[in-house]
Amino acid sequence: QPGRIEVITGPMFSGKSEELIRRLKRAKIARQRIVCFKPDIDLRYHKTAIASHSAQTHDACVVADVERLREVLFAQIDQVEVIGIDEAQFFDESLLPLSLELMHLGKRVLIAGLDTTFAGEPFRPIPDLMAVADEVVKLSAVCMRCGAPAIHTQRLGGSQELVVVGAAGLYEARCRAHFEPFADSE
Ligand code: ADP
């Protein structure tokens, strides 16, 4: 019997981690066995937990890459029913076949991550995962300029690196009208 792939996506501050934590809590109430992962690139808020900007947390195993995630997971695969992965945009494209494999093993795979980069472009592997998911939840944040629903992550300051892990003040949620992907600095 196949499992399920659920993707929770949207810009920064849209509540992806909150929604992931909410779903994990419900799975725990249902007495399902859960294991959570996040990439070691994202150690902003908490070293061993998924953490939301609103300070909710859930324990997580920090892994360097998909290969390591796979190792840790398969060492306990028979004891696991639900797999949570936060900040999944920082894992590479091999997360797609792994997610499908887990789904075929009957697991529920919950994946949270950014759908677009600071340049407003699709942020792989999230779009690929969205394509094969059973459920996609696309959340919006609140535009920091006008209060409208925000689908973009605005980087403040001029760095063009794809990954600049954010200290507070480095990123803002913006609506389409106020998103300035090529702004030099703010
Ligand atoms: P994500 O994982 O998508 O970055 P989080 O779940 O970590 O989002 O944080 C969502 C929380 O961030 C909201 O519940 C709210 O408390 C806070 N927040 C701060 N700035 C914003 C914003 N511009 N829009 C929406 N929520 C915001």
Residue 161 within any structural domain of the chain: no
Residue 150 within any structural domain of the chain: no
Q: What is the ipTM of this complex?
A: 0.96
Long-range contacts of 155-163 (CB under 8 A, 24+ apart): 155/118, 156/185, 156/186, 157/185, 157/186, 158/183, 158/184, 158/185, 162/117, 162/118, 163/41, 163/90
Is residue 87 among the annotated active site residues? yes
Q: What is the mean pLDDT of residues 122-142?
A: 98
Using CA atoms, how far residue 184 sits from 89, 145, 155, 157, 165, in Å, is 24, 17, 10, 6, 18
Residue 43 within any structural domain of the chain: yes
Global pTM value: 0.92
Pocket residues: Cβ below 6 A from ligand 1: 10, 12-18, 52-54, 141-142, 144, 173
17 known ligand binder: yes
Residue 154 within any structural domain of the chain: no
Q: What is the mean pLDDT of residues 47-52?
A: 77
Determine the atom of ligand 1 nearest the C-alpha atom of 21. 6
Can you give the CATH number for the domain in which 37 is found?
A: 3.40.50.300
pLDDT at 161 over 80: no
Of 6, 18, 19, 87, catalytic? 87
99 known ligand binder: no
Residue 179 within any structural domain of the chain: no
Give the pLDDT band of residue 162 (cuts 50, 70, 90): low
Q: How many domains does the chain have?
A: 1
Domain boundaries, position 62:
4-139
Residue 92 within any structural domain of the chain: yes
Q: What is the mean pLDDT of residues 129-135?
A: 98
Residue 168 within any structural domain of the chain: no
